[in-house]
Structure 1
Amino acid sequence: MNDLQTLRAALASDEPSQDVVDRSRQRLQNRMRGGRASQRRTGWLIAGAGLTAAAAAVAIAVMPAAPVDGPPVRTVSGQEILLAAATAAERSPEGSGTYWHVNVTEVDGAAASSGYEYWIKPDGRLWMRGAKTGGKVTPLKGTSATPFSLVAADLTLEQLRALPTDPDALKAWIAEALERSDARTSAGTLTASDREQAGFQSLISLVSTLPATPEVRATAFRLIADYPGVQNLGTVPGGHGLLLPEGERLVVDPATGRVNGTSIFVTMDGAMYHVTNPAGAKISAEWTDTLPG
């Protein structure tokens, strides 16, 4: 049984058998009768039929549920959600198109409060729409030879698609790229702790905003699952809410292997943006042939 099948089995809510239903109903009737059928008062039952019905309703509402035969319900862990998403991502079609389109929409209740949207062509041409462009799709001047940002490392599409699929090799590749990077923090060069955090955020980028291959996305999901402290926050719109070790939040759909919500994302210039809304932001990333006017 693979990760996705295991998760489906854990989340499945099988209906009880008819035998279980009949025995549970018999136990309920016995409790309502005091446990012994011989002590029933037929005249009282007939005269007080309405009262009996009301008493039955109260009994059903307040009495503890009868035990249901079968295995106990098991809570699915955050790690299992990620591993199931890895299996689904590995099997998902890559998709194709002229532009890689990323749309991040911060929400406040039902109303969008802010958004960040961009389109990238493999040749490095870029378009964006956001507060800085007045909500209009605007081409950016010039082209970028390395338009895809993996936190502190900028890549071409070919380099991104050539990333290793072995977990140890991918982790080592990201670490080496960060070591060579000229990225800086407000305090100066990246420390070992900064590089560790950037490496983790790079994995988040691979599963959320970058056109990585299905195999690389699957590997990144599994590496995130290896970190201790990943928590399943339960079912939310778009999938399952996950709390990650550094406080980041993701919404992951384990059936499709897609990330549909996030509290952080990498902008086109490689900067890490932290979403102010505690609930995070909706996110979509896919290939498209359409560039809105």
Structure 2
Amino acid sequence: MSERGDLLDFPGADELIAAGHVAPPAPAVVAAARAAVAGAAGAVAYPVLDLGDRPAASASAAQFLNDMADVAADSRTADAPYWKVRMETVNQDDGRMATTTFFDRAGRIWSVDADGTVHEPPAGKAGKLKKWPVGKKWLTRPALDKLPTEQKALTALFPKADDSRFEQVAILLEDSPASPELRAALFRILADTPGVKLVGDVQDSKGRPGVAVEVTRKAGFSTGPEKGVTYWTTDRYTVAPDTGLLLETIHKIRGQDIPADRYTWLELGPADRVG
């Protein structure tokens, strides 16, 4: 008891004892704090570990992505009849383009012009439905709600190749109305993907703070003068650590001067009405 008294002999000890048990911080708070330390101290918060045949840099990225799984699982989305996606695209073919779309629970798509003009989906089966790739299938919103949220069962639905699986999972995380449980499982799949590198603290093209990870993948073959030559892309994904939402995706072809493709998500979430 005398030893305990010595340890607690400092100003404020009585108040600390009286406070009793303090609940642990929310996953978003923990992830944001780790990200801040990682950015300021060279990824100290997400240490690089030796994983044998996996690239060492992937260890810190795995910790961050698992943190984002916890943030996603802890999040809640308001129930609303529509899902809104407002984004900006920049690429070599189209230049800079901003789009605003809404889709309902069936996946029917509305688009809204910059002046507020609303374009409704055609009636009947002629209307396009919003879909996302999962393995060899393209799933509508109702089908997404039926996906398993257990990581192993969900992983089995995606391509076996690491690159293709990562790409499809990332597309779902970019703009789908996946449930918190599904988003958490998707982040855990990314965390188990070899070769993902933690970039750390960054700002997206709009100046919003985030944490970025990168993955280099085989993107295809050249059809130009160097026909048949394999080309690779480095894909950067910037995530808001406090929400687990993707802020921006950049695809850059390695070794070429072609400008990178950029997709920036300006607004994403439930909506009570279109417009």
CA distance in 2, matches of 1:225, 1:73: 16
Offset of residue 115 of structure 1: 1.9
| Alignment counterpart, residue 240 of structure 1, candidates 211, 220, 223 | 211
Q: 1:281 to 1:72 in 2, by over 3 A?
A: closer
Instruction: Please state if 1:103 is matched with 2:86.
Output: yes
Aligned in 2, Cα 1:281/1:250: closer, same or farther, shift over 3 Å?
Answer: same
1:251 matched to 2:238? The reply is: yes
Q: How many residues align?
A: 201
Shift of 1:291: 1.2
2: CA distance between counterparts of 1:6 and 1:126? 37
Task: Determine whether 1:207 maps to 2:173.
Answer: yes
Q: Which amino acid aligns with 1:278?
A: A
* 3-state SS of 1:290 partner: coil
The answer as to 2:196 corresponding to 1:225 is no
Structure 1: tracts of 5 or more residues without a match: 14-70, 176-191, 265-275
Question: What is the correspondence of 1:266-277 to structure 2 with a 5 Å cutoff?
Answer: none
- Which residue type is aligned with residue 148 of structure 2? P
Amino acid at match of 2:211: H
Q: Does the 8 Å CA contact 2:166/2:193 hold for their aligned counterparts?
A: no
Q: Cα–Cα, structure 1 residues 148 and 95, in superposed 2: closer, same or farther, change >3 Å? A: farther
TM-aligned CA distance change 1:6 to 1:125, over 3 Å:
closer
Q: Is 2:148 the counterpart of 1:160?
A: no
**Higher strand content, 1 or 2:** 2
In the other structure, the counterpart of 1:83 is: 66
Structure 2 counterpart of 1:232, one-letter code = L
When normalised by structure 1's length, the TM-score is 0.57
Q: Distance in 1 between matches of 2:216 and 2:150?
A: 23
**Superposition pairs of residues 1-293 of structure 1, within 5 angstroms:** 7=31, 10-11=34-35, 74=44, 76=46, 77-106=60-89, 113-129=96-112, 136-142=117-123, 143=125, 147-150=130-133, 152-175=136-159, 197-235=163-201, 236=203, 237-246=208-217, 247-263=234-250, 278=260, 280-283=262-265, 284-292=267-275
Matched residue SS, 2:194 = coil
Which has the larger share of helix?
1
Shift of 1:126: 1.7
Mapped partners of 1:279, 1:234: distance in 2:
21
Taking structure 2 as the reference length, what is the TM-score of the superposition?
0.61
CA distance in 2, matches of 1:286, 1:73: 30
Shift of 1:118: 1.6
| CA spacing shift, 1:134–1:200, aligned 2, 3 Å | farther
Identity %: 25
Q: Which amino acid aligns with 2:121?
A: L
Whole-angstrom distance in 2 between the partners of 1:279 and 1:154: 23
What CA distance in whole angstroms lies between the structure 2 residues aligned with 1:149 and 1:11? 29
Distance 1:137 1:262, change over 3 A: farther
Displacement of 1:219:
0.7
**CA distances 1:247-267 after superposition (whole Å, capped 9, x unpaired):** 222111122111111237xxx
Helix, strand or coil for the counterpart of 2:105?
coil
Alpha-carbon distance between aligned partners in 2 of 1:240 and 1:278, rounded to the nearest angstrom: 19
